[in-house]
Amino acid sequence: MKPLFIAFEGLDGSGLSTQAGTLRNYLLDKGVNVILTKEETDGLIGGLIKSCLKKEWKTDPMTVQMLFVADRNHHLKTTIEPALEEGKTVITDRYVLSTLAFGGMDLDVEFLKTLNSKFRAPDYTFVIDVDPGLCVDRIRRGRFSVELFEEKSKLEKIRANYKKLAAFFPNTHFIEGSRDRMEVFEDIKKVLGV
């Protein structure tokens, strides 16, 4: 299998992290050299974003999106591109579509597209599509706090944004994510042919 760049996208609580991790483990078991990474990253810029999402400090939507773009650029240069050059498959838990779908609630999506226009397109993008009400239920069952975007009304807008962005990257696949996680994963495997 040639090295691939695979992005997982979706609402908070949709199961995209579960699916990204399941694919990583499956490919490792098949002998594929693969890494799993995540945006926002664990670096300095990613830390600023995380603290903003947890409502530990407040800023305007433009500043948040500029931080995401800076974090992504650093992520590409230090993690994604080097791994691909070494022949590794890279799976990222969130990428550009998250910026457009979430950021598009407060800012012009065309402007956000321009900010992200120079970034590498994934070979495959999987949007794990789940009803926002189910996402909120999963979030509440899974942890004690709710982050900036984790309200049903906001998630409904973000889901609509994802659907409008279906053609932004070639090879974007919407996978119905309310089913058993292994049923969801079977659909992902079929798309990838693995």
Compute the residue count for the chain: 194
Q: Is this model's pTM higher than 0.95 or not?
A: no
Angle subtended by helix axes 61-75 and 44-53, to nearest 10: 150
Characterize 134-173 residue by residue with b for buried, 16 or more Cβ atoms within 10 angstroms of its Cβ, and e for exposed.
bbbebbeeeeeeeeebbeeebbeebbebbeebeebbeebb
First to last CA, the chain: 9
Per-residue pLDDT at 148: 43
The whole-angstrom separation of Cα 148 and Cα 145 is 10
pLDDT given for residue 137 in this prediction = 77
pLDDT in tens, the chain (194 residues): 789 999 999 998 899 999 999 999 999 999 999 999 999 999 999 999 999 888 888 899 999 999 999 999 999 999 999 999 999 999 999 999 999 999 998 999 999 999 999 999 999 999 999 988 888 777 777 554 444 455 678 888 999 999 999 999 999 999 999 999 999 999 999 999 99
pLDDT at site 134: 83
Q: What is the pLDDT of residue 117?
A: 93
- The architecture (CATH level 2) of 5-192 comes to 3-Layer(aba) Sandwich (3.40)
DSSP annotation string for 16-78: HHHHHHHHHHHHHHTT--EEEEESS-SSHHHHHHHHHHTTSS---HHHHHHHHHHHHHHHIII
- Domains of the chain, by residue range, sit at 5-192
